[in-house]
Structures are given as structure tokens and as C-alpha cells.
Chain A
Amino acid sequence: MTAQDLVTLTVDGIEVAVPKGTLIIRAAEEAGILIPRFCDHPLLKPVAACRQCLVDVASPFGPEGTLRPFPKPQPACAIAVSEGMVVNTQLTSPVAAAAQAAVTELILINHPLDCPICDKGGECPLQNQALHSGRPTSRYTEPKNTFAKPLALTPQLLIDRERCVLCQRCTRFAAQIPGDPFIALQKRGASQQIGRFDPDVLGMAVPDGEGPFAGDVPAVDGRPFAGYFAGNVVQICPVGALTSAAYRFRARPFDLVSTETVAGHDASCSTIRVDYRRGTVLRVQAGDDPSLNDEWITDKDRFAFRWTAGPDRLRTPLVRRDGVLEEASWPEALAAAAQILTEAKSTAVLPGGRLTLEDAFAYAVFARRVLGTDDVDFRARPASEEEADFLAHVVAGSGEGVTFAELTAAPAVLFVGSEPEDEGGVVYLRLRGAGTKVYSVAALASRGLKRLGGTLIPAVPGAEADVLAGLKPKAKGVAGEAAKELSGGVIVVGERLATVPGAYTAAVAAAERLGARLVWLPRRAGERAAVEAGLLPGLAPAGRSLAEVGQDEALSLFGTTAPAKGRDLGRIIRAAAAGRLDAIVVGGLEVADLPDPTLAAHAFERAKVVALQVRRDEVAEYADVVLPVAPAVEKPGTFINWEGRLRPFPQVLTSTALSDGRVLQALAQKLGVSVPLGQVETVHQVLAALGRPAQRPAAPAAGVPAATAVPAGSAVLATWHNLVDDAAAADYEPHLAASAPLPVATVSPATAKAVGVTEGGRLAVSTDREVIDLPARIDPTMVDGVVHLPTKSPGSHVRAALGAAHGSVVKLALAGKGAGQ
């Protein structure tokens, strides 16, 4: 910042230089002076509604620069500083102090004195302001405004209207940040209130389907969908008006211990604060991280935390005896596991995609050195060899690549097989905030893409590689436009390309051809760390080849010789199902997430399974030994987010639970190998010693199969996970689940016509397995001959029910008319 960009002013006699355009309220903060405020929020546009921040201002005027005071106190939140300005706050100006006291008194007249039962009590700006500069007793003796309370805005969000100070932070957030204006100011004067469209409150009769939200996506509860970020309004509410059903009346803020840590529900790995009391997490709040998530998080990061403390939480090891899992001591269980792994002639490791870097590294070493197998794959979802090659070539060992700041500053960002909102969470918010030009190669313009103002490059699922190959500056229409803008831009690829042969190959080629950078946006928080740790066949940590084991001292933990290149997820499952694999070590994954859950269940049935699990879930039903491990909140560790940024976090809760690494170390010990897998430092030392790989593994080189004709009555399936769905990590959060978007089957008008379905009618989507029967939504942006289903939403478990994936051919029919025939 050059001196010309700085403006010097005086606040309460303290001279301070701030960038041009800074608002007085923030210039004062630079001088260490806190001006009270309610409506002001640094990430929202000023509104100057609450009038709590009134201060005395004088500016130089005319050629002489004579200081001229404003005739009345000014809102510090809405006025930009100017050179030579003199600001006197409540600390030095009786006028400002009187104005602020007046506003405080007025705010309080209709505010209930219910701090003792208010969730905000103890962390409430209004309470602070009232105690700091309010009157000892109120002069207001008239009846206060009252409202029926609370009013449910969504199944998760409740509003106690009498507590609301009408600062509009919530409505401004909803409109400005995620673009989900589900609430607005209503009525006026002292009856003014925040609300959603509610005919009862507004005294309006609205015919069915003719409300202002008709045609918008409904939530599971049938009301208009409030979005994936609505929970942020609870955090920014300066009083206790907005509460969440999940936290309301659960705790007092002063009883909570707050620890800054990292969210583990998506690959952004947002900064969060976990608030707990006596060993129980009660609340998650967004941290303040301008480089990453600003002050916002997804509702999943905010509300999905009870899964670690449910009735299915494992506290002791389990060993199967006579077909029944029974509690066992650690020595018994380790001995049983060691026996299984010793007796097995062939073993594989499926650690799952939610691991910390430290635990991922422990699995990587354990598999190769202790079990002597390279049959290891972290992916617990549809996966391909091409994807593994892509990850090894592009991602592994690449360190920090494109950052949030670079992504949002790019001339254009192209998403391929990736949904910025559903799969990226705050990636969507940052792009929207920056107004970045976004393109999406997909079968339809998703709700997120529309709110990003993005452009759809239509692609039938499976044809993404062809579309990528067609992105050339000379191409006609949107493909040419995108190709030109992507020079210096970013191409973001996501997990569903794993079922599109040739797509990763085409993405690498397109990035090179167009001069764009390439980003892999995985959906799970642990996937990037798993790649860095080498949890793919043939891959060592930091992008090194497993063949380097024995040659590079830095890989000495892997032993002296590496096993031959192993099998990936699909081949491991098929081998086990065919009885050609004796034992599998399984980490935190769900059977239902695997590409073919039926086949996977069969595989786990046939092979011996040693499971390292937080909860007793479906994998345990097939396991012979279950070893309990700690969830992220009970251990220190490091996630690596999609940027490649290390996101270390501390242990939040005191716990006796062991990390996966500690358990693997003990198991290795039992198997006669002493290796320090349970230490947080180990992997960092290894990665530091390895540095960047001198030579990258070869680029993926998969061919594009010829397109197969889709028979009449069928359609190609487009599918991805909604951000809030039936994920196991969202278990025990009924209010979150009820706030999710309603699962619908989306088709184009022509496809709908061909099937004979109308908007809201029921569409049966089937394979030779089962039928998924959902309300139809007709989307004019949708490519013809394609149907979109959410991957794992209520009533739409695509993998389990259909055994299908993105790009599969499925049958379409009107529900109840011979579906699945």
C-alpha cells in the first residue's frame, strides 16, 4: 500500500492512517477504539439502521481546509474516512455519548429483559452495551411489544421476534452472501419484523402454489429451501433473536470452552470454533479466516457434529466370536486382528477418505511395510485407474497450488464434474462474493451455478471428455468464449469424473492447451491428505513412486523393499467378492458410499475384516475385529484442503480414544514391526525430507469410449451429493436433515414430455435392481435425455438402490406405471 492510498484522520485524538474508503467504525478499531454497533458487519454492506454507532465528525472544508463539524452525529458504520477528518466517539464527545445512550435506551424499550433465559446472554453485544452505558433502571413503563414465540423460519432456525433489534444483518447476509433471500423485513414501525413468507404473519391468503417462491426449490419440510448457509445468521445475530433448534436452550455461553479448529465436512477445511462443555460438543461456529472461509461456514460444518457422540459410538474393541461381535479388551482385540492378518495370504487396505494426514500416512506405511501389500486405495466412492493416474500426476506432491484468493481472482473458472456449492461449500461463497466468472460443464445449470451467475456448457453425463476436448478459442458459442477466458483461468475437476472415461485425461489436456491451472476439488476433507500420504497403488508420500522405497532414505519407514504395484478399490472389492482376497483392513467408510454397495457387502462378507471405526456402523456387521478410533475432535492432526494448504488442528476434547495411527502402531507391534505411526510429527518430517518430486508420474492417458445409444424409455443419469443429505456425518441432526433440499428427479421439458410427467408428478427412475420414485422437477436448462438425482438423499440412494453412477443409463417411467419393467 502506498502512502497515496492511505488517509490520515484523528479518532479521539489518536492519529491513524487507513486505506482510502475505510469506514469510520473500522478506522476507529485501528486506533483501538470500539464504537458500539449492531447493524454493522464488516462483510456486509452498510445500512446505518440501528444508529448505535453515532459519533461526532468534522472534516476540513474549502481551500483553507477549515475544520467543519457535521451538524449532527453521524453513523460511523456508513461514512468513509477523509483526509484530516476528526472523529470524536463516545469516549471524548458528550454529543456522541448522549446519542448512543439515547439509541441504547430506545433499542431496549421493546427488548425483553430475558437475558437469564436467552441463549445469547453472556455473549450478547446488546447486553454488553446495556450494562456498559445503559440506564440502571428503565424509564419505559408502557407495555412492550410481544409476539408469538418462537417462529420457525426453517426446521433449524427459530426467531424470537421480540428480541430482534431489526439490524438486518440476517437479511443482508441471506441476500448478499449466499444469495438465498429466504427472509425479509415485514410490516413496519414497531411491528416491523424479520420473517419468511408466512401468510399467517402477513395476514394474506395465498392460493396453493402461487406464493412468491412458487417454482423455487422446496426444502424437505415443503417450505422454500433456505440454502446451505442459513445457519450463519444465528452467529451474526447481535442479540438472541435467531437461534438454532440444535443449540437453543442447550448451554450458557460462559460455561462453554471454545477451541479454534478445522472443519472436516468438505475439502475447504474451514476455520471453525468448537464450543464444548464437560466433554460434549454443543455448538460449532465459524472462525474468522479471511484467507479461507471469511466468517461463514456451511450448515453441515455448523450443525453436523453429534455423529461422534451417538449411541453407536465405539468405546471398546469388538471381536467376533461364534459369529457375534463381543466387547473385548485391547490386548485381546489386537491379538485377534494380528492373527487374522498373519494368517491371511493376501491383504488389502481401504482406509476411507476422511483421514488426517497423520493417520493416512500411518495406513500407507502399515499396508506396505507391515502387511506387505500395495492393495490400498483411500477412495470410498466411484473411482477409476485414470483418476488415480491423474491424482499422481497432477495433485500428489504439488504442494500449495491455486489458493482461494487466486481462484476468485481468476479471469474465469470452469467446473467439470464438480458442483461449487454442493461439493465445495465455501468455495461457492467466495466465488459469489468475488463475482468471478464461472462456467460449468454439466447436464444442468444447478441452483448454485445460477446464483453464481455462471454459464452452463451442456454435457450429457459421460460426454464431459468430448466437451473438454471441444473447448477451443475458435469454437463457436459458449465453448469458444470459455476457452478464451480460461487463459490464465482455472479448471476445477471433481469426483464424479471418475465414472467418465477419458475425462481426467481431457482435463489435463485442456488445461495445457488453454493455459489454465488445474484444481482437484475433492468432496471429503481427508482425500487430499490421503493422496499426499500415498494411499493409492504405487504411490509413496509427496508424489513419489513406491518404487523409490529402498532408494530414498526419506522413505525408510516404508522398509527396504516395496511390494509390487497393487490393486485399486474396484479390483480389491471384486477380488474379495470372488474370494481371492483373505483380509481387508477397513478405515472410516460406509458401505453405501462404495460404487456398488451390494458387491462391497459381499466382499466384506467373504474376506476377513479388521475395521478401525469411530462408530459401530454397517462395516462392523461384516468385521471380525473392530478397533475403536478417535474422531477428529478427539485427536490432533492435519487436514490438507483442496488448495494443498496444511490445516493443522489441536485436540479439542479430552479423550481416551486413540488415533488410527496409534492403533495401527499397536497392531504393527503385535505383528512384530516397531514403527512410529502414532506420532503427529512423523509424517511432517518425512514430507519435509522428501520435498517435491523431481519427476512427476506419467499423465493419465485414457481413451474416450464411443458413445452408446440410449434406448427409448431410458436416460443418462447425472448425479452428485447434495451438501446436506443422508451422510453418516449428519446423523442425529434431525433439524439439519429437515432443512435439506427436497430430493427431486430433474429432467428437461422434452424428456418430461416423452415420459409424460409434469412438474411435481412422480418419476420412477430404475435399473434392474430397484426403483427410485421422486417428484419430478422440470428444468429448462437440463440436457435432453438426462435425469438428475441426488446421490444419497432421502429416498434417493443412487448407489445402493440402482447400483448406478454418474453416466449410467437408467430407465424412466411415470411412477406406478410399470416402473423398472
Chain B
Amino acid sequence: MTDTLTPLLTSRWGNPDSWTLQAYLKAGGYEALKKALSQDAADVLNNVKDSGLRGRGGAGFPTGTKWSFLPPPDGGPRYLVVNADESEPGTCKDIPLMMADPHQLIEGAIITSYAIGCHHAFIYLRGEVVHVYRRLLGAVAEAKKAGYLGKDILGSGFDLELTVHAGAGAYICGEETALLDSLEGRRGQPRLKPPFPAVAGLYARPTVVNNVESIASVPWITLNGQEWWKSMGTEKSTGVAIYSLSGHVQQPGQYEAPLGITMRQLIDLAGGIRAGHELKFWMPGGSSTAMFTQEQLDVPLDYDSVVAAGSMLGTRALQVFDDSVCVVRAVSRWMDFYAHESCGKCTPCREGTFWLRSVLRRIEAGRGKPEDMQILEDIPKSIVGKAFCPLGDGAPSSLVSSLKYFRAEYEDHIENGRCPFDPKAAYLFKEVAA
């Protein structure tokens, strides 16, 4: 089954000193940039547009289309902002990418900036990952010294500054308008739309906000052409993507494969489920997507098939939970995260996650009440479709889907006044037991 792996973005991660400019150049780096700079910006843009590349940050919006939403140049600045605020539980692709191959992202950012007419791009990085921050700063300095950034890049006449900005640690800043407010030095909370960032984004100027992996895909598409990219993946979900497997598999890690691969294939690639256990449930795209069970193992993991199956491809953060895991406990932990990270702007997300957290903790602790089941049914409905931004809408996804598949487990907690699982049985590492 190993032939399903298609390492592109991850292909250089194992090279010695892979993060250095030298290693990147040795592996063919910045060739795509040279090619792009020799073309018209419009051609570079159209190539990406025609490739069908869809946003890798979760929503799956076509990247080239997003670029083409920018109004015609008016002489004023326009910005590219790379969303590197990766902070959802389970999602762990951008941070290793930036750690192992930062120049790939920088090259993508330069090509994208050239395509959209941007002369100052930003990478908004999650603040907690100081090691990645240092690495990006180092890589940008290297690239600048080598003439890939700054004035008149490679003699093309194109200028670009690239600023790496570290956030202060807020999940909400992964929402693009909250990210822009935070980048401007304000409190990171989502903005009212319209205006959309393409019209009035950073400093109220036309702005493209793209995920790290989307931008890192751009050099590949530029170098090899949109036809090549479209030859991989499915018709509507073209190309390859990083699948991050974590949890109860033998070999957790990053598996880069064409879109449309199935979870069954991926689990095989990862050496199967933890010995002696069976798959209980899995998250297809991070904690904000509805969970799947064994039933969906053969769903093609492309944007549309996963939606059709009742969830979202999200960030392809595939978290695998075997039969040792208490679903109430898992959902309770996720709700802790959402209650902690809710930005507080809108009532449904702020109060709803706070309430659900309290109820879930009580149920898990054996203090559930029969009427809690109704609350677990109702409050998600009070959040979804009522919250200000998509992060609120995604907060109860794990709860809602878990009730669909494992309602009896909740009722069991409430009826018997205790959790039937031994939490230690789910531990991956012995030393954690405490």
C-alpha cells in the first residue's frame, strides 16, 4: 500500500539540516520562484486557479479563486497573510512543515505575493511555538540575505518584505478576521463581514489570507503545472495533502497522499490500530469536525465526500481512538478546549461552551442527571448557526456526533453514576500514568 504515499511538501523533511537554505537549494528549492518571476503575474495566478488547489486550513475554499477576489490594483498596498496559527486539538501539520522546511513556505509566499501584487507579506504564527518562530525568523533572514526577499528579487524588479509575527496564543486568531485584528495589534476577535478581507483586510486594504500548507503547495504547482497537480487527487479535490495521524495507531505521523485516500488505507500505512484493540471512533479533520466510526473507514478523504458522509475534511487531523477510550471523556476534553478558547465575543459560543463543559465534566465524574441528556441535545443547537464565526459553529461538532453514535455511553454514565472506562487503559505512554 505504500504506493499511495506521495511525499511532496513533506519530501525534504528528513534531509540533513533540511531547514537551511543550503539544504533547500540542494533539493531544488527556489526553482519555482525563478519560473514564476519569468512569467506574467496573471499566468502564475491562473495556473494556481486552474490547478483546483483548495484551502488547506479547513474550509477548502479554492485558493486561486480567493486570490482573484482582490479588487484591481489601485496603487495602494495589498497584503498576503499566511495563517500559521495552527492550534486546534489534533491539527499538527503546519508546525512540523515550518520547522522542517520553512523555505518551502517562504518560496510559496513570494510566488503568491508576486501573483497577487503584494509587496509586504506576513506570516502570523501561533505564539506558543517559539522554536518555530525562531526557525522562521532565521529562514527569512537567510532568504533575504540571498536575495529571495527584499528589493528587486533575483533581478526581476519585484520587491517583497516578509514579516513573521508571533501571536499571543489564542485559538480565535486562526479565524482570518480575528487574525487580522491581532496582527494590527488589536484584541483578536472576528470582524463583522462584509467587508471581506479581499476588499478590506489588513489595515483595511485588500488582503489574501491563506493557510501554511496551501501556500507551501504553490511552488509545486508553479514548477510542475496545474495539469500535473490535477492528475493527483480527485476531480474536485485536486493534488496531495498532508494527513496527520495521531492517537491509537502503531505509527502516528504525517502521511502525505493524494486527496481521496481512505482512512482504512491510512491506518494500514500507520501500521494499524494499537495492538489488542479495535478502532472505536476517529476525527477526520480536527476537533471541530464530526467524528466517524468504523462505518466511514472507506469514505474517500476529499472535501466533498467527507461532507457527504456528515463531517468535514477540515485540517485532515485524523485522531484515532480505540475501544479503550471513553467518548464522554474525550468530548469533555474537547469542550474544555472550546470553553477555554472561546473568544467571548458572541453569546452562543461564550455561554454555550461554558455550560456544556460544566455538564460534561459532571457526567464524566458520575454526577450526571437524566435531564442532562436534553441539555446536551439542545445547547449545541443554540450554538450552531447562531454563533458569530465558524469556530463557534464547530465547537459542539464532536459532542453532537458522539451522541449520534454513542448515546448509550452517556446514558450509562448517568444511570450508573460513574465512568465505565479505566482512563489509564487509553494512555499511550506509560510514564504519563498518574
Contacts and interface: CB of A to CB of B under 8 A. Distances in A.
Contact of A103 (B189, B344, B348, B375): B348
A106 interface: yes
A106 B351 contact: yes
B343 interface: yes
A322 interface: no
Interface in A417-476: none
Interface of B: 170, 172, 187, 189, 192, 339-348, 350-355, 358-359, 362, 369, 371, 374-375, 378-379, 381-382, 385-388
Given A48-B388, A102-B386, A192-B350, 17 more contacts: A71-B385, A72-B385, A102-B382, A103-B347, A103-B382, A103-B386, A110-B354, A139-B371, A141-B369, A165-B347, A184-B187, A188-B170, A188-B342, A189-B341, A189-B344, A191-B344, A192-B344
Interface stretch (A50-58, A287-295, A703-711, A780-788): A50-58
B239 to A, nearest CB: 29
Given A50-B347, A51-B388, A166-B350, A142 B358 contact: yes
The bracket for how many chain A residues form the interface is: 35 or more
A189 B350 contact: yes
Interface in A377-421: none
B357 to A, nearest CB: 9
A571 interface: no
A142 B365 CA distance: 14
Contacts of B379: 106
Contacts of A54: 386
A55 to B, nearest CB: 12
A187 interface: yes
A112 to B, nearest CB: 14
A723 B285 CA distance: 59
Contacts of B346: 48-51
A140 B355 contact: yes
Nearest to A95: B385
Contact of B355 (A48, A73, A142, A165): A142
A401 B403 CA distance: 70
B192 A48 contact: yes
A139 B375 contact: yes
A47 B382 contact: no
Contact of A110 (B192, B345, B351, B374): B351
Nearest to A45: B192
A246 to B, nearest CB: 30
Contacts of A190: 339, 342, 344, 350-351, 354
A166 B344 contact: yes
A145 B344 CA distance: 14
A54 B384 CA distance: 13
Contacts of A48: 192, 346, 388
Contact of A49 (B342, B352, B358, B388): B388
B344 A51 contact: no
With a 10 A CB-CB cut-off, give which of B353, B382, B387 has the most chain A CB atoms.
B382
Closest 4 CB pairs of A and B: A192-B344, A102-B382, A72-B385, A142-B358
Interface of A is mostly: loop
B340 A102 contact: no
Contacts of B348: 51, 102-103, 106
22 contacts: A49-B345, A51-B388, A52-B347, A73-B385, A73-B386, A78-B192, A99-B385, A103-B347, A103-B348, A103-B386, A106-B379, A109-B351, A110-B354, A142-B359, A142-B362, A188-B341, A188-B343, A188-B344, A189-B339, A189-B350, A189-B354, A191-B344
Contacts of B192: 46-48, 78
Contacts of A184: 187
A51 B387 contact: yes
A185 interface: yes
A47 B374 CA distance: 31
B371 to A, nearest CB: 7
A699 interface: no
A109 B187 contact: no
Interface of A: 46-52, 54, 71-73, 78, 99, 102-103, 105-107, 109-110, 139-143, 145, 165-166, 184-185, 187-192
A109 B382 CA distance: 13
Contacts of B353: 189
Contact of B347 (A51, A72, A141): A51
Nearest to B362: A142
With a 10 A CB-CB cut-off, give which of B170, B350, B358, B362 has the most chain A CB atoms.
B350
Contacts of A140: 355
Nearest to B338: A189
Contacts of B371: 139
With a 10 A CB-CB cut-off, give which of A47, A184, A190 has the most chain B CB atoms.
A190
Given A189-B339, A192-B350, A106 B344 contact: no
Nearest to B172: A188
B189 to A, nearest CB: 8
Contact of B351 (A71, A99, A107): A107
Nearest to B355: A109
A54 B383 CA distance: 12
Nearest to A50: B347
A286 B47 CA distance: 60
B378 to A, nearest CB: 8
B414 to A, nearest CB: 14
A398 to B, nearest CB: 44
Nearest to A184: B187
A46 B382 CA distance: 22
A50 B359 CA distance: 23
Given A142-B358, A190-B339, A107 B347 contact: yes
Contact of A102 (B189, B381, B388): B381
With a 10 A CB-CB cut-off, give which of B355, B359, B375, B386 has the most chain A CB atoms.
B386
B359 A187 contact: no
Contacts of B355: 106, 109, 140, 142
Contacts of B388: 48-49, 51
A73 B383 CA distance: 12
A143 B341 CA distance: 20
A713 B354 CA distance: 65
Contacts of B387: 51
Nearest to B375: A139
Contacts of A102: 348, 378, 381-382, 386
A71 B359 CA distance: 29
B386 A99 contact: yes
Given A48-B192, A107-B351, A142-B355, A185 B344 contact: yes
Contacts of A99: 385-386
Contacts of B362: 142
A331 B388 CA distance: 72
A93 to B, nearest CB: 14
A278 B368 CA distance: 53
A191 B187 CA distance: 15
A73 B374 CA distance: 23
Nearest to A100: B386
B174 to A, nearest CB: 14
A102 B348 CA distance: 8
A129 to B, nearest CB: 12
B343 A189 contact: yes
Contacts of B381: 102
B344 to A, nearest CB: 3
Contacts of B386: 51, 54, 72-73, 99, 102-103
Contacts of B382: 102-103, 105-106
A257 to B, nearest CB: 35
Contacts of B187: 184-185
B342 A106 contact: no
Contacts of A47: 192
A192 B362 CA distance: 23
Given A51-B388, A102-B382, A106-B352, A189 B347 contact: no
Nearest to A38: B347
Nearest to B371: A139
Contacts of B189: 185
Contacts of A185: 187, 189, 344
